[in-house]
Amino acid sequence: MTAAGPLPVTVVGGYLGAGKTTLVNSLLRQANGRRLAIMVNEFGALPIDASLVEAADDRIVSLVGGCVCCSYGEDLVSSLAMLRALEPRPDHVLLEASGVAFPGAIAGTVGLLQGFALDGAVVLADAETVRGRAGDRYLGSTVRRQLSEADLILLNKCDLAGDPDAAEAWLGETAPDARVLRTTRAEAPIDIVLGAWTGRAALPAGGGPFDHTAGYATAALDPPERAEPEALARILADPAHGLLRAKGFMPRPGGGMAAIQTVGSRWAVSDAPSDAPSGLICIGLEAGTDFAALRRAVSDF
């Protein structure tokens, strides 16, 4: 990805207390050289661990490792433009939505903006309280809609919840299009939450960047010849296979290379440099991903 390419944006949603801030801090700790820009709506007390803050001015707080944090207030569009103009430019924007905002609406705006690419909407749910909230007289419909607009749901605080299985089963009905990842203290691999790895380089021989002991499974796929990237992307995003993410490049039947990216059921295809290496990497949960069926679907293609 060249610096002039679109800047990826991930929307982070969920009701108060679900762990949005914890997730942001966890991602910052995993940034490992990637420059993350964190945009928060309700600034107030800075939601970033003090140990990560390096310097602060009026609009921008500089964090260790070249990351930044800013409050977008009511002007999402100009705040995003400001981040894009930073030198050096951030690699990825994490847009933390307010507790009652709809991630789908924010994602819709981001999708309209030139120079940005919506990566996906990640919504956190507190495994212990989410079902109660979803039944709340005032909040219920808001919480359910937030979940239903997610590409990826982090079912958080699983260590505290009495019955995370029941919560996950309930999510399957409430948000059938989203993939669910169980977390504790909102700890999830940055590569899954942000899709922030590039091509095959991230996949060491015989293994993935992801810790199998944590239950993630990775697979490399060779794209079938003469397939339309859009059609392939749709298969990768099909809820039946349960992939969390897929990413890679493939030749277009009419010439040129295409980049494919999926998160949950959301997929995007864009132009890629002609020297991009053909190949796809797919990530899912060992327990929830049917790689065999996926390979069949791709090879039948």
Is residue 15 at the binding interface for another protein, with CB under 8 A as the rule? yes
Residue 104, SS3 per DSSP: helix
Binding to another protein, residues 25-54 (CB under 8 A): 42-45
DSSP codes joined into one string, 10-65: EEEE--TTSSHHHHHHHHHHH-TT--EEEEESS-SS--S-GGGEEEE-SSEEEEGG
Among 54, 56, 64, 77, binds another protein (CB under 8 A): 77
On whether the CB atoms of residues 203 and 209 are closer than 8 A, the answer is yes
Residue 146 host element (H or E): helix 140-148
Among 1, 60, 113, 297, binds another protein (CB under 8 A): 113
Is residue 166 at the binding interface for another protein, with CB under 8 A as the rule? no
Among 1, 53, 76, 297, binds another protein (CB under 8 A): 76
Is residue 4 at the binding interface for another protein, with CB under 8 A as the rule? no
Is residue 56 at the binding interface for another protein, with CB under 8 A as the rule? no
- The residue type of 16 is L
On whether the CB atoms of residues 146 and 178 are closer than 8 A, the answer is no
| Greatest CA separation for the chain | 56
On whether the CB atoms of residues 192 and 283 are closer than 8 A, the answer is yes
Query: What is the closest distance, in whole angstroms, from the C-beta atom of residue 177 to another protein in the complex?
Result: 16
Is residue 6 at the binding interface for another protein, with CB under 8 A as the rule? no
Which residue, 141 or 198, has its beta carbon nearer to another protein? 141
Is residue 60 at the binding interface for another protein, with CB under 8 A as the rule? no
Is residue 132 at the binding interface for another protein, with CB under 8 A as the rule? no
Among 108, 207, 239, 273, binds another protein (CB under 8 A): 108
Is residue 74 at the binding interface for another protein, with CB under 8 A as the rule? yes
Span near another protein by CB under 8 A; candidates 105-113, 199-207, 250-258, 275-283: 105-113
- Inter-residue long-range contacts of 140-144, CB under 8 Å, 24+ positions, other chains counted: 142/15, 142/100, 142/102, 143/15, 144/174
**Lookup: tokens for 170:** 């309930």
Is residue 103 at the binding interface for another protein, with CB under 8 A as the rule? no
Is residue 85 at the binding interface for another protein, with CB under 8 A as the rule? no
Query: What is the closest distance, in whole angstroms, from the C-beta atom of residue 204 to another protein in the complex?
Result: 38
Number of residues that bind another protein (CB under 8 A): 30
**Lookup: tokens for 236:** 């990768």
Residues in the chain: 301
Residue numbers at the binding site for another protein (CB under 8 A): 15-16, 42-45, 71, 73-78, 81, 98-100, 102, 105-106, 108-109, 111-114, 138-139, 141-142
